[in-house]
Amino acid sequence: MPFFESKPSFLLFLSSILVVLAGFVIVFTPLGKSIGFVAPQMNLILILLLIIAVYLITVQVVKNWFIRKYDYE
């Protein structure tokens, strides 16, 4: 199945990373303050990173299980 086996292009990957970084960094800039953003506390940032890591690991485990179960490799 091409959907499960394909990888994103480099430009898609790069643009996704840049958008996430811009969204994170803008909170700490004067622009963020001017539009009402408030910098999160460090413990919230760590919790968010933990949630993201658990999500990515879970997605990879489920994807590997799906590929093995339905023999898509």
Number of domains in the chain: 2
Check: pTM over 0.75? Answer yes or no.
no
Q: What is the reported pLDDT for 31? A: 93
> Which range marks the domain in which residue 21 is found?
1-39
Q: Are residues 29 and 4 in the same domain?
A: yes
pLDDT tens per residue, range 1-51: 555 566 778 898 899 999 999 988 999 999 999 999 998 999 999 999 999
Q: Are residues 66 and 48 in the same domain?
A: yes
Q: How far apart are CA 45 and CA 62, in angstroms?
A: 26
Q: Are residues 46 and 18 in the same domain?
A: no
Reduced to 3 states (helix: H, G, I; strand: E, B; else coil), residue 29 is coil
Q: What is the reported pLDDT for 19? A: 95
pLDDT tens per residue, range 52-69: 999 989 988 888 888 888
Q: Are residues 34 and 46 in the same domain?
A: no
